[in-house]
Structure 1
Amino acid sequence: MSIPSVTATAPKERKSLGLRRLTRKLAPLIVIVAILAIWEAVVRIFAIPSFMLPAPSEVFSVGWRTRSIILGAAGQTLLTTLLGFALAVAFGLVAGVIVGSSRVIYDSIYPTLIGFNSIPKVAIIPILVIWVGIGPVPAVITAFLISFFPILVNVATGIATVEPELKDVLRALGASQVQIIRKIGLPRSMPYFFASLKVAISLAFVGSITAESIASNQGIGYLMLVASSRFQVPLAFAGLFVTALMGVGMYAISSAFEKRLTGWTIRDSQSGIGANG
């Protein structure tokens, strides 16, 4: 009975692994194309009016004709979202380290944070208009408020869940609390941190667009509001598509940073090795 050699089976295994990886990468695109095709077919078959549900082909056509308007609005929305998101990352990271490094602070502040996060941010926008007026500032603040909490909670959780044994070892070696956080707490919280970024960036877009539709005369939110009031529903859907593309793009950037900086925590389900390996 002959036994296949390792050299003979290795190329087949590599080819199979490469095929599986290619399938995983193409799967999201295939799903999107399928959804758009079904959407197009439903609209055509049931003759749904465009002011109720436009077909994707009509949305793309209107989006291309009004691309200068949409790109201008998208640029404004992207700017306000990134500003709010950057503030949330900076303040959330610092606050998460402070909250997670002390059990007393964690237990004292966490209920307050839960209560604040339970407040619908759309209810705060009229108050922001009174304080700072109409414009991009309410959108920046809303994006900050809605994306701040996930970052803070995840960083604090990552630091607070460091094994007590590791802390005891470092203390026995003479390490201070700051050194423990820097050597163990921050590396331990990085997977939590980058996971929260992927959630926070999507929430930041929701916050900025909601604020733009209420308290601004610029951006995708304002464009969609005006288009809907004029029954230009394909234009409103084009704004939605552009927003989705921006959200997916920022999500992909966050995922790339996550794999690059915390690849040691991610294992390839097919090969059983680290993502960077």
Structure 2
Amino acid sequence: MDRREFAIRVVSPTVFTVLLFVAWEAVCRALKVPLTILPAPSDVFGALWQYRAPIIDNSWVTLWTTLTGFLMATAFGLLLGIGVGWHRALYAGIYPVMVGFNSVPKVAVVPVLILWFGIGEIPAVLTAFLISFFPIVVNVATGLATTEPELEDVLRALGASKLDIMRKVGIPRSLPYFFGSLKVAITLAFVGAVVSETVGANKGIGKLMLDAQAAFQVPIVFAGLLVLAVLGILLYAGTALIEARFTGWAFRGQATR
């Protein structure tokens, strides 16, 4: 990474984030915003340090439920996306059902999951799974379905079977779509897990924020939001690194420019 790229990828976001917190602090101090309305960053970081033990404990719960649901969504979405994208009958039959299911607000499904599995971490895992698998299916199916017909004709003329075309052309071609969907799905998985924790859970950042809200401990609520933002950025960055490792060929021309 040269200096210019380092400045774009590291220095610029850091400076912008610091300026954002400084402006936030200045507005809260200048306008004397009540602590119960909008705490200043100094109050938020103070609560983050003061209550670091319960925040860390609940963060681990939210992190593992999110990752578990996300990994389930990745495996299921990849397999279903390959089937839907490669078989027209499956596409025609399953895709409308998935669109209808995805249109149902997942917060409305959480009470049903709690009724089936009780209050705990299983509903959070399943909610993270349900809310994040759809983008993966759609993107993988799109990557496979948009394979050039001319290329398929050439490969068939050379003796390649349909399975060979899918393994050697279709799946590699859909990898950029797949990893692009993972970056969207990981953030959605956090949304699903936290929503479930706020509806019914024993532990987790969502549960901690809900209890803090009931006690009017607004700095703890914002501290929880800050933790969720940091975790989301880290997981997004990890997914982007894996994407660069496996699909660097797709962006080689952009990197050269």
Bin for the TM-score computed over the shorter chain: over 0.9
Return the match for 2:136 from 134, 137, 151. Answer: 151
Is there any run of 5+ residues in structure 1 with no aligned partner, and where?
1-16, 273-277
Aligned to 2:4: 20
AA partner of residue 152 (structure 1): V
Return the match for 2:43 from 58, 61, 68. Answer: 58
Aligned to 1:192: 177
Q: Percent identity?
A: 54
Aligned to 2:126: 141
Return the match for 1:180 from 160, 165, 170. Answer: 165
3-state secondary structure, aligned to 2:178: helix
Give distance in 2, aligned partners of 1:271 and 1:154: 26
Equivalent runs, 1:122-141 vs 2, <5 Å: 122-141=107-126
* Alignment pair present for 1:206 and 2:191: yes
Aligned to 1:41: 26
Which moved further from structure 2: 205-214 or 110-119?
110-119
The alpha-carbon deviation at position 19 of structure 1 amounts to 3.8
3-state secondary structure, aligned to 1:262: helix
3-state secondary structure, aligned to 1:51: coil
AA partner of residue 263 (structure 1): G
Which moved further from structure 2: 74-83 or 105-114?
105-114
Return the match for 1:109 from 94, 106, 117. Answer: 94
TM-score normalised by L of structure 1: 0.90
Give distance in 2, aligned partners of 1:145 and 1:111: 16
Give distance in 1, aligned partners of 2:123 and 2:44: 29
* Alignment pair present for 1:217 and 2:218: no
Give distance in 1, aligned partners of 2:130 and 2:219: 31
Measured on the aligned residues, the alpha-carbon RMSD in Å equals: 1.3
The alpha-carbon deviation at position 188 of structure 1 amounts to 0.6
3-state secondary structure, aligned to 1:152: helix
Give distance in 2, aligned partners of 1:108 and 1:173: 32
Q: Deviations over 1:14-51 (max 9, x none)?
A: xxx94431221121112211111111110000001111
Larger Rg: 1
AA partner of residue 23 (structure 1): A
Return the match for 1:76 from 61, 71, 85. Answer: 61
Q: Which has the higher helix share?
A: 2
Aligned to 1:12: none
Q: Deviations over 1:178-234 (max 9, x none)?
A: 111100111011000000000000000000000001110100000000000000000
Equivalent runs, 1:247-262 vs 2, <5 Å: 247-262=232-247
Aligned to 2:228: 243
Return the match for 1:264 from 239, 249, 257. Answer: 249
Give distance in 2, aligned partners of 1:141 and 1:271: 42
Give distance in 2, aligned partners of 1:51 and 1:269: 47
TM-score normalised by L of structure 2: 0.96
The alpha-carbon deviation at position 269 of structure 1 amounts to 4.8
Which moved further from structure 2: 153-162 or 165-174?
165-174
Is there any run of 5+ residues in structure 2 with no aligned partner, and where?
none
- Number of matched residues? 256
